[in-house]
Amino acid sequence: MAEKRTNKSRLLENLNPLKFAKNVYRIGKASSTRNKDGSIKKKGTTKKLTNPNPKQKELDQKKKTIKKLKGANKELMQKKINQLEKYGKSKTWQNPVGAKGGGKPSSVDHSKTKTKTKKTGKQTIREKNIARHGEAHVNKLKAKQVDFKQMRKGKLSKADFIKKYPKSITAQRSKGLRK
In the chain, what are the domain boundaries?
1-52, 55-90, 139-179
Contacts of 50 (CB under 8 A, 6+ apart): 15, 23, 24, 25
Listed in order, strand segments (DSSP E) in 29-166 are 33-34, 40-42, 45-47
Average pLDDT, whole number, for the chain? 75
What is the number of other CB atoms lying within 10 angstroms of the CB of residue 84? 22
Count Cβ atoms below 10 Å from residue 43 Cβ, excluding itself: 9
What is the β-pairing status of strands 45-47 and 40-42? antiparallel
What pLDDT digit, counting tens, does each position of 59-118 carry? 788 888 888 888 888 888 888 888 877 776 555 555 555 555 555 555 556 566 667 788
Alpha-carbon distance of 15 to 25, in angstroms, equals 8
Instruction: Return the closest-CA partner of residue 6 out of 27, 23, 32, 20.
Output: 27
* Crossing angle of helices 56-66 and 71-87, rounded to 10°: 160
Say what the alpha-carbon torsion angle 107, 112, 116, 121 is, to the nearest 10 degrees.
90
Report the range of poorest mean pLDDT among 50-54, 75-79, 124-128: 50-54
